[in-house]
Amino acid sequence: MTKPRDYGEEYARFHGKPAEIAKRAKRNSARAEMVKTHGKAALAGKDVHHKKAIRHGGSNGKGNLAISSVHRNRGWEKKR
C-alpha cells in the first residue's frame, strides 16, 4: 500500500530553503516591476522573462526583463 503524501514535509524540504525563497522573491519583484511599467492588463496570461537568467548572474533591471508567453518562457518549445 502506498504511503500518503506529507505535503508539509515536502514543502519544508523543497520550497522552504532560504535559497529557493530568495529566487522566488526575485521572480516576484521582477513581475511587480513589469506591472508598474506596463500595467496588469499587459501581463495577463504572460510571464516575465529574464534575458540573462538569475541563476547565471542576471538582474531584475529593466534591460534584462521582457514579457513573453508562458509557453515560450517555461521552455516547452525547447523540449521538443
pLDDT of residue 79: 59
pLDDT at 64: 93
Tally of domains in the chain: 1
Q: Structural domain of residue 37, as residue ranges?
A: 7-73
In a domain, 58, yes or no: yes
Looking at the domain assignment, is residue 2 inside a domain? no
Classify residue 80: in a domain, yes or no: no
Long-range contacts of 32-36 (CB under 8 A, 24+ apart): 33/60, 33/62, 33/65, 34/65, 34/67
pTM given for the model = 0.67
Hunting for cell 508567453 — which residue is that? Answer: 69
Interval 4-40: pLDDT, tens: 999 888 877 776 778 778 888 888 999 999 999 999 9
Does residue 11 fall inside a structural domain? yes
Residue 50 lies in a domain: yes
